[in-house]
Amino acid sequence: MNRHQILIAEIPIQEGQASTSAAIAVGMDSIFLVAVGATLGVMAWLLRSMWFDYRERVHKVESQVADLGNKAVSAVTDLERDFLKLKAELPITYIRSDDFIRFVNTLDAKLDHLNRKLDGFMEVKKTHE
């Protein structure tokens, strides 16, 4: 047995008339290979569990993004509806500046015409006094 082997057990073996014992020896390289295999197995199991956790998280994020997308579409639709409603109500509630200027000019013209009539009545009244 060399120095890199560990004695596990001695097993008696009978060959013909001579009885000898053989030692089952496990080399250090065998122990190293078992340790590497076990380590790789544990690492594979951890990577697989991490991969499934990652996939679950990705699916969760995808569903959240889809929900946010649906909410955004709904919000945009509501905004469009409100904007169209406002667009329909504005001419009823408010007046455009061009229309207001035209109205004020017409009102000024009427007041000037009324002022001229009143001035005419005042002159007629002064002449009769």
CA distance 45 to 128: 120
Which has more pLDDT, 126 or 103? 103
Which amino acid is residue 11, in one-letter code?
A: I
Q: Supply φ then ψ for residue 55, to 5 degrees.
A: -65, -40
Domain boundaries, the chain: 5-94, 95-129
> What is the average pLDDT score of the chain?
83
Which has more pLDDT, 30 or 80? 80
Which has more pLDDT, 74 or 8? 74
Selection from 31, 10, 29 nearest residue 21 by Cα: 10
Beta bridge partners of 24: 9
The Cβ of residue 27 has, within 10 Å, a number of other Cβ atoms equal to 13
Q: 13 and 21 in contact (C-beta within 8 Å)?
A: yes
Torsion of CA 46, 51, 52, 57, to 10 degrees: 130
* pLDDT for residue 36: 94
Residue 75 has pLDDT above 90, yes or no: yes
Return all residues near 13 (Cβ < 8 A) that are at least 6 apart: 19, 20, 21, 22
Tell me the HSE value of 12 on the side-chain side, using a 13 A CA sphere.
5
